[in-house]
Amino acid sequence: MNLKLRIWRQKNSGAKGYFQKVDAKGISPDMSFLEMLDVVNEELLAKGEEPVIFDHDCREGICGACSLVINGVAHGPERGTTTCQLHMRHFKDGQIIVIEPWRASAFPVLKDLAVDRGAFDRIIQAGGFVSVGAGGAPDGNAIPVSKNSAELAMDAAACIGCGACVAACKNASAMLFVAAKVSHLAALPQGQVERAARVERMVAQMDQEGFGNCTNQFECQAVCPKEIGVWFIAKMNKEYLKAKICQ
């Protein structure tokens, strides 16, 4: 496959960015998208040019680091798929592919396609944890959890914190991410002690980071690689309202 790439290049968050035209030749349809970028970088280095900076880690679709907007869609054209698990067979020979970073003021560009998602880390630090001392690890069956609660917690815990929901939302809202983290712990017995404080602190930190509000367009659900439903946002709103009323 021969492809025509338009790759966003930007020195840092304060610099002016631009699209660089790059021809990717001899690309195998069996390559992943990141493997294709590796080939492109090898060619750029061979020419004495600076390689394209992009974020990645596990390349197994579980860490969320591979954050790219491909032809206007976060993580690319395949639903329920991270960029690193997207294969080139989903593109056509000769196709123009536009590659951009997440675009949100809360995710400043570090360089080229890599952004700083530290805002998500600070939201988690604000309350997305269980701090109650529980001693040693108990037996898995020592604390009974209903099937419905366990399944809800597992669905919410599937969030990998990639930020695709923010990148897709016209308001750059992080509510799907925060809702998943709040709902995960709210469904488990271990998360009950800090339940009210957790949602208040995480929502407050989300607002402080500069993320926008949800206007129910459902773009976040459409691009989420783990297909987390927007109904978790309704659940978080309920948790938040209950916390405020019961103060």
pLDDT for residue 135: 62
pLDDT band at 246 (very low <50, low <70, confident <90, very high): confident
Q: What is the DSSP letter of 170?
A: T
For a pLDDT cut of 70, what percent of the chain falls above it? 96
pLDDT for residue 80: 95
Find the Cα–Cα–Cα–Cα dihedral 234, 198, 203, 181, rounded to 10°.
Answer: -60
b/e 31-58 (16+ beta carbons within 10 angstroms → b): bbbbbbbbbbbebbeeeeeeebbbbbee
pLDDT for residue 175: 97
Beta strand segments in 64-215, E: 69-70, 73-74, 96-100, 109-111, 114-115
Q: What is the pLDDT of residues 226-243, one digit of tens each?
A: 999 999 999 999 999 999
Q: What is the pLDDT of residues 16-25, one digit of tens each?
A: 999 999 999 9
Q: What is the DSSP letter of 52?
A: P
The mean pLDDT value of the chain amounts to 94
What is the number of other CB atoms lying within 10 angstroms of the CB of residue 89? 11
**pTM greater than 0.85:** yes
Closest CA to 59 of 28, 27, 20, 33: 33
- CA 184 to CA 159: how far, in whole Å? 10
> Quick check: 12 pLDDT over 90?
yes
The fold of 3-110 is Ubiquitin-like (UB roll) (3.10.20)
Q: What is the pLDDT of residues 84-113, one digit of tens each?
A: 999 999 999 999 999 999 999 999 999 999
> If 0-12 CB within 10 Å is exposed, 13-18 middle and 19+ buried, where does residue 120 land?
buried
CB 116 within 8 A of CB 67: no
The lowest-confidence range among 97-106, 131-140, 144-153, 172-181 is 131-140
Instruction: Extract the tokens encoding 38.
Output: 């590796």
User: Furthest-apart CA pair in the chain: how many Å?
Assistant: 64
Q: Cite the residue boundaries of each domain of the chain with CATH code 1.10.1060.10.
A: 118-245
pLDDT band at 143 (very low <50, low <70, confident <90, very high): confident
What is the number of other CB atoms lying within 10 angstroms of the CB of residue 244? 11
Superfamily of domain 118-245: Alpha-helical ferredoxin (1.10.1060.10)
> Quick check: 73 pLDDT over 90?
yes
- CA 202 to CA 6: how far, in whole Å? 37
> Quick check: 134 pLDDT over 70?
no
CA atoms within 13 A on the CB side of 69: 17
pLDDT band at 144 (very low <50, low <70, confident <90, very high): confident
Q: Cite the residue boundaries of each domain of the chain with CATH code 3.10.20.30.
A: 3-110
Q: What is the pLDDT of residues 175-200, one digit of tens each?
A: 999 999 999 999 998 888 899 999 99
- CA 103 to CA 106: how far, in whole Å? 9
> Quick check: 131 pLDDT over 90?
no
